[in-house]
Amino acid sequence: MALPIKSVLGAAARAVLRPARREAPVMPLRAVLRTPVVFDLLSFAMQLRDLARVTRIRDSYAVESAHHRDVHDYNAGVTQGKLITTTRRVERYYELLAQPRRDLGRDRLLIVGPRNVHELLTAWTYGYSWPLIEAIDLYSTNPKIAVMNMEAMTFEDERFDAVAMANTLSYADDTRTALAGVARVLKPGGRFAFSATYDPDGTRWKEDRVEAGTIAAMLRELGFEICVHFAVDKTNSQGRLQTSHDFLVRKIPAGETRRDAFRL
């Protein structure tokens, strides 16, 4: 077969003059800032500025219930014990929220339970605009983190394009109430990435005993479609075997139909 010189040269010319567009915007600076050491040092500097706030997080409560006060005290103790967050476990939820690849710069993001600015920085490196990142927790270690109970959010309906809730759902007093709150503040078509732990022998957090199948049924009832789910079994710090579930779900717009509908 003769080499199609004309086609080859045409492809080369298109590569230079009309290159194919990427599915996601090019963000070389943010990609560099996600690299090890660079990200750690930047996060360290941002968290260091907030240390004075960390010392005051036990001073007041945002909630009255004994359950949420217990959650407040437990997480405040963890935050004050660690002082500086160094793990990057939350990163996978932003990798999920970025799918399918697109420009996230105009999306309004809500982060539930970040503890400190470390997770907000992670979200920014994945393409979210800093002014459009909002966060809530039972205490605030940074001016961008509002003090609010995830089961009684005061945001208006359909405010957010995306919600991230990493390692937080277990602290709910009622799982369905927490998920319903997310469904209310999320726009139609919006995405929600979160984790859920199944630890049936645990005694500290009762919502750890809610099975993933039950959570999936709740999500469908609340108008979500499950886009991604994966689970890992691991031995927790108390020596018990538990299952950690990660979900990416999407709020189905009213009246949406597909040529080839598929629902998990």
Burial of 48 (0-12, 13-18, 19+ CB in 10 A): exposed
Count helices and strands in the chain by DSSP H and E runs: 9, 7
The C-alpha atoms of residue 175 and residue 257 are separated, in whole angstroms, by: 29
Cα(151)–Cα(68) distance, rounded to whole angstroms? 10
- DSSP 3-state percent helix, strand, coil across the chain (nearest 5): 40, 20, 40
At residue 23, the pLDDT reads 66
Domain ranges of the chain: 29-251
The predicted-structure confidence for 234-252, as pLDDT tens digits, reads as follows 998 888 899 999 999 999 9
Question: Residue 230: pLDDT above 70?
Answer: yes
The stretch 67-73 carries a mean pLDDT of 91
Q: What's CA 152's distance to the chain center, in Å?
A: 19
pLDDT at 225 over 60: yes
User: In the predicted model, what is the mean pLDDT of residues 254-261?
Assistant: 88
In degrees and rounded to multiples of 5, residue 140 shows phi and psi of -120, 125
CA distance between the termini of the chain: 48
pLDDT at 196: 96
Reported pTM: 0.91
- At residue 87, does pLDDT exceed 70? yes
Tell me 84's DSSP state: S
Residue with the larger pLDDT of the pair 77 and 1:
77
* Mean pLDDT calculated for residue range 182-196: 98
CA 120 from centre of chain: 10
Which of 52-61, 93-102, 103-112 bottoms out in mean pLDDT, i.e. has the lowest?
Answer: 52-61
Query: CA angle, corner 47, sides to 92 and 101, nearest 5?
Result: 25
Say how many C-beta atoms besides its own lie within 10 A of residue 147's C-beta.
15
Q: What average pLDDT does the chain have?
A: 91
What is the average per-residue pLDDT within 28-32? 90
d(CA 136, CA 110): 8
H or E element that contains 31: helix 28-33
Per-residue pLDDT, averaged over 152-164, amounts to 97
Rounded mean pLDDT, 226-231: 96
Q: Is the pLDDT of residue 21 over 90?
A: no
Please give the CATH architecture assigned to the domain spanning 29-251: 3-Layer(aba) Sandwich (3.40)
The stretch 185-207 carries a mean pLDDT of: 95
194 three-class SS: strand
Task: State the pLDDT at residue 22.
Answer: 67
pLDDT at 1 over 70: no
